Chains A and B, each alone.
Chain A
Amino acid sequence: MALHAPLLVAAALFSIGVGGFVARRNVFALLMCIELMLNAVNLVFVTFSRQWLSVEGHVTVLLVVALAAAEAAVALAIVIMLFRHRETLDVDVFASMKE
């Protein structure tokens, strides 16, 4: 029973992340939305870990945090490169390749 609350919070977090990802145009905002989604997943892992009384979920969460950090590192490097190139952080500017 008690598991419902964290799962609902996770669902809300994930939805906010997805909604923001689709709606926002700033690269940083998009990256933050992805962080939200990942943290929602972490919450799900932790919740289920408690339900099964297993450490596997906890370990997974730590690895996801590490992964998110690695992703952020690569992303920030790319953002710097983009900013130098076009002087903007609006993702909609980068749409020359299509159809």
Chain B
Amino acid sequence: MSHVALLAWILFAPLAAAALNGLLALRSARVPVPVEGHHLRPMDRLAAGIGVAGPLAAAVAAWSLGFAFLARDRSLRLTELDLGTWFSMGQAHVTWLFRVDPLSLVMVLVVTTVGTLIHLYSVGYMAGDAGFPRFLTWLNLFTFAMLVLVTARDLVVLFLGWEGVGVCSYLLIGYWFSDAAKAAAGLKAFVVNRIGDLGLLLGMFLLFWSMAPGGQASLDIDLLSAHVTKLSVPLATAAAVLLFVGAMGKSAQVPLHIWLPDAMAGPTPVSALIHAATMVTAGVYMVARMHPLYHHAPAALAFIGSLGALTALVAATVACTQTNIKRVIAWSTVSQLGYMFMGLGAGAFSAGIYHLFTHAFFKALFFLSAGAVIHALHGEEELGRMGGLWSKLRVTGPAFVLAAAANAGLPPLSGFVSKDAILVATWNAHHPVWFAVGLLTAGLTAFYSFRLVALVLAGPPRDAHLAEHAHEAGWAMTLPLVLLAVGAVGAGVLEWPHELGGTLWFSAWLEPVFYPSLDHGVHANAVVDIILTVGSVAVVATGAAIGFSLHARDGASTGAPLTGLQGLWATVKRGWHVDEVLERVVVRPVVFSSRAAAPFLDFLLGWGARGFVQGLALAGRGLAVAQSGLARHYAMVMLGGLVALVAWAVLSGGR
């Protein structure tokens, strides 16, 4: 099959699956759910088949394309699918152009491969749910939107995918609509993401109009990349920072991270697919994709790296204190995303993307095995009622340990390799502070990962009744665990360090993409690299040992490990009070001083969604008083408007 045809398969197989499942979802609404329990109706079986087949076909096509690329010369590893013009008006000209190059292919492989496994897993996880085909429809649609995002050659088409994944995420987080908290979490995620999108759109418009004088008024990524050096540095920096604000929303960077932990209200496979493996990495991908722009704006790059380092550290501390199994992993995801941005900030684009790649495997594994634990305990998510499950869960247990170890960065797992690549890159790029923060974060990561392992699997059960009835899940859930575990262990081979006898295959693969921006001095000094690696391994091993031993004891609590830490512990547990602090510092004084101005200030300061909406509602209520229903009052308001217009016109028109 030709490469273009393979690309068409990659894009449209998930879309076709979504369409078919959508039709099934409409029909299945009329068929009653048989009984309580995990049974599939015949219709659900069909939906499951279609739902898994779509991403699977895309994955097969993606791997075929990958092997076809390998057989080609480096400079020829590019395929484009041209579906004609989307619209062309005035200066705006947008084409349906989808492109796969080595960078896009990495993303496509992650989305389709990990995606297929998660689709399969959700068949087991969601079985018996009344809206089963509907759930799969949205999951498929999400996969399609994500593929559009990573293959688009025009920023406007990328934005289509960007919004598409946002909508699907919103629908999937709030999937169990009857639960008000879950619906609110969906809305929060949506609104916070809109704040990010505001930055993205402004960045796009700024790029568009700043390129216009040179006759390059286009948002075609290749054209932009080719001409970006013509921009003045301040302008490029502004555009780069604005685009990054979009990435902050999508990829949960401080302070727009507040939505991600709440998004865990959705079904676990959703958390794994959207909020760990794919959607949240869209920001990282976008920044990497626009690397010529960022290369042209070093200040923006430094900003990205610093914010990434801050996010990594803050989120890692919060993860240490959480008592809900999914929230620990959610905060861990925020922290790892910060790590990726730190890598990008250091100019090590391929290291950042490589961490994205390995993270997709081990974090999906982490989430799915956590989901299997929750499933085994009939929906229990609190760590305080877990423990002693190692002997019960013969597949999930080892998978969980592997995921934790990879997340912690223990050698020789994939997490170790990619994390080490970023740490070395920050050191070599002369960012000792980022390096120190990264090292500290690595220690904390190891600590909370093994704290989790100890609390879930080791020791005596904290809830004997739950533990007794725990049962391993069916093959649809355990098979993805096994396959993902293979990926989480094996993905490290691709970038095994020189010093340990490996080849840097992954960065060589991405070299055609990043060549102009590539920092050729990344692995400058082998001796330094080895020292750094040994040091980080020591820190990680210490963290892991402390985390495990403190929490594997009899009667270990989920609270602070040392009594002296309790105050700090409580603060950190509330996410450093970011939500509350924002409310106290920003919102209340503003509300008191000026009720009408509150919404706008809230918005500017990027405050949480709920308060924002409430503030607006308050101002709206003020306006509603004027809407009294009396025609005379309306006439008075109109008269006021007329007087204002006349005054303005006459005063300003004096010339």
**A70 interface residue per 8 A CB criterion:** no
A-B contacts, 17 of them at CB < 8 A, read A18-B639, A21-B632, A22-B635, A22-B636, A22-B639, A23-B632, A25-B632, A91-B630, A91-B631, A94-B631, A95-B628, A95-B630, A96-B629, A97-B629, A98-B627, A99-B627, A99-B629
The 0/1 profile, CB within 8 Å of A marked 1, for residues 107-124 of chain B is 000000000000000000
Which residues does chain A contribute within 8 Å of B632, judged by CB atoms? 21-23, 25, 91-92
Tell me, rounded to whole Å, the shortest Cβ–Cβ distance linking B623 to chain A. Answer: 9
Whole-angstrom distance between the alpha carbons of A99 and B617 in the complex? 13
Do the beta carbons of A98 and B629 come within 8 Å of each other?
yes
Q: How far is the CB of B61 from chain A (nearest CB, A)?
A: 55
- In chain B, residues 377-406, which have Cβ atoms closer than 8 Å to a Cβ of chain A? none
Closest chain B residue to A97, Cβ basis: B629
Interchain residue pairs A-B with the least CB separation, the first 8: A98-B629, A95-B629, A99-B624, A95-B630, A99-B627, A22-B635, A91-B631, A22-B636
A96 partner residues in chain B, CB cutoff 8 A: 629
CB distance from A34 to the nearest CB of B (A): 11
A22 CB to closest chain B CB (Å) equals 5
A97–B624 alpha-carbon span in the complex (Å): 12
Q: How far is the CB of A14 from chain B (nearest CB, A)?
A: 12
A98 to B630, CA, bound (A): 8
Interface residues contributed by chain A, number (CB under 8 Å)? 13
Contact bitstring B37-59, A, C-beta under 8 A = 1, else 0: 00000000000000000000000
Q: CA A55 – CA B207 in complex, angstroms? A: 55
Question: Residue on B with the closest CB to A96?
Answer: B629
Interface size class of B (residues with CB under 8 A): 10 to 19
Which chain B residue has the least Cβ–Cβ distance from A95?
B629
Of chain B, the residue at the smallest CB distance from A21 is B635
Considering only residues 605-649 of chain B, those with a C-beta below 8 Å from chain A are 624, 627-632, 635-636, 639
Rounded to whole angstroms, the CA-CA distance of A32 and B619 in the bound complex is 37
Shortest distance between the CB of B575 and any CB in chain A (Å):
37
Q: Bound state CA distance, A57 and B635, in angstroms?
A: 28
Give Cα distance in the complex from A51 to B178, angstroms: 72
Contacts of B624 in A (CB 8 A): 99
Question: Which residues of chain B are within 8 angstroms of A23 by Cβ–Cβ distance?
Answer: 632
**Interfacial residues of chain A within 52-99, with CB under 8 A of chain B in the complex:** 91-92, 94-99
Residues of chain A within 8 A (CB-CB) of B639 are 18, 22
* B629 neighbours in A (Cβ, 8 Å): 95-99
Minimum CB distance partner of B621 in chain A: A99
| Chain A interfacial positions (CB closer than 8 Å to B) | 18, 21-23, 25, 91-92, 94-99
Q: Give every chain B residue within 8 A of A91 (Cβ-Cβ).
A: 630-632
Within 8 A of A (CB), among B138-176: none
Q: Is B630 touching A92 in the complex (CB atoms < 8 A)?
A: yes
User: B630 to chain A: which residues have CB within 8 Å?
Assistant: 91-92, 95
For residue B631, which residues in chain A have a CB less than 8 angstroms away from its CB?
91, 94-95
Shortest Cβ distance from A18 into B: residue: B639
Complex CA gap A96/B630 in Å reads 9
Extra A-B contacts (8), CB below 8 Å, given A18-B639, A91-B631, A95-B629: A21-B632, A22-B635, A22-B636, A91-B630, A92-B630, A92-B632, A94-B631, A96-B629
Contacts of A25 in B (CB 8 A): 632
In the assembled complex, the Cα of A18 lies from the Cα of B631 at a distance in Å of 13
Note all chain B residues with C-beta closer than 8 A to A94.
631
In the bound assembly, the distance between CA atoms of A94 and B630 in angstroms comes to 7
A71 → chain B closest CB, angstroms: 16
Kindly state the separation between the CA atoms of A99 and B630 in the bound complex, as whole angstroms.
11
Contacts of B628 on A, CB cut-off 8 Å?
A: 95, 98
In angstroms, how far is the closest chain B Cβ from the Cβ of A25? 7
Closest to A99 in B: B624
- Chain B residue nearest in CB terms to A93: B630
Chain A residues near B627 (CB-CB < 8 A): 98-99
Complex Cα distance A95/B628, Å?
Answer: 7
B624 nearest CB neighbor, chain A only? A99
- In the complex formed, the residue of B with least CB distance to A19 is B639
Bound-state Cα–Cα, A92 to B635, Å:
13
Would you give the shortest CB distance from A92 to chain B, in whole angstroms? 6
Within 8 A of A (CB), among B161-207: none
- Among A18, A25, A92, A94, the most chain B Cβ lie within 10 Å of the Cβ of A92
User: In the complex, how many angstroms separate the beta carbon of A7 from the nearest chain B beta carbon?
Assistant: 16
* B334 CB, nearest partner CB in chain A, Å: 41
Q: Which residues of B contact A95 (CB under 8 A)?
A: 628-631
Chain A residues near B636 (CB-CB < 8 A): 22
| Cβ of A99 to closest chain B Cβ, rounded Å | 4
Q: In the docked arrangement, what's the CA distance between A97 and B629, Å? A: 6
Residue of A nearest to B625 (CB): A99
A22 to B640 CA separation, bound complex (whole angstroms): 12
CA A52 to CA B635, docked complex, whole Å: 34
Closest-CB distance, A85 to chain B (whole angstroms): 16
The distance from the CB of B157 to the nearest CB of chain A, in whole angstroms, is 42
Q: In whole angstroms, how far apart are the Cα atoms of A36 and B632 in the complex?
A: 17
B22 CB, nearest partner CB in chain A, Å: 38
Most buried by B among A22, A23, A94, A97: A22
| Measured CA separation A55–B624 after assembly (Å) | 47
List of B residues within 8 angstroms of A97 by Cβ: 629
Q: A18–B642 Cα gap in the complex (Å)?
A: 12
The B58-83 residues at the A interface (CB cut-off 8 A) are none
What CA separation (Å) do A29 and B639 show in the bound complex? Answer: 18
Contacts of A18 in B (CB 8 A): 639
Minimum CB–CB distance for A58 against chain B, Å: 27
Task: Specify which chain B residues have a CB less than 8 angstroms from the CB of A22 in the assembled complex.
Answer: 632, 635-636, 639
Give bound CA distance, A91 to B635, whole Å: 13
> How far is it, in angstroms, between the C-alpha of A21 and the C-alpha of B635 when the chains are bound?
8
A94 to B629, CA, bound (A): 8
Closest to B642 in A: A18
C-alpha gap A25/B630 in the complex (Å):
10
In the complex, A98 Cα to B621 Cα: how many Å?
Answer: 12
Distance to closest chain A CB from B647 (angstroms): 16
> Whole-angstrom distance between the alpha carbons of A18 and B646 in the complex?
15
CA distance A32 to B550 in the complex (A): 88
Q: Which of B12-26 contact A (CB under 8 A)?
A: none
Bound Cα distance from A25 to B629, whole angstroms: 14
> Complex formed: what's the CA distance from A96 to B631 in Å?
11
With the chains together, A94 CA to B631 CA distance in Å?
Answer: 8
- Chain B, range 488-512, C-beta contacts under 8 Å to A: none
The distance in angstroms between the C-alpha atoms of A91 and B630, with both chains bound, is: 8
- Of the listed residues A23, A25, A99, the one surrounded by the most CB atoms of chain B closer than 10 A to its CB is A99
Taken together as a complex, chains A and B put the C-alpha atoms of A34 and B1 apart, in Å, by 76
Bound Cα distance from A30 to B8, whole angstroms: 67
In the assembled complex, the CB of B95 is this many whole angstroms from the nearest CB of chain A, namely 47
Minimal Cβ-Cβ distance residue in A for B632: A22
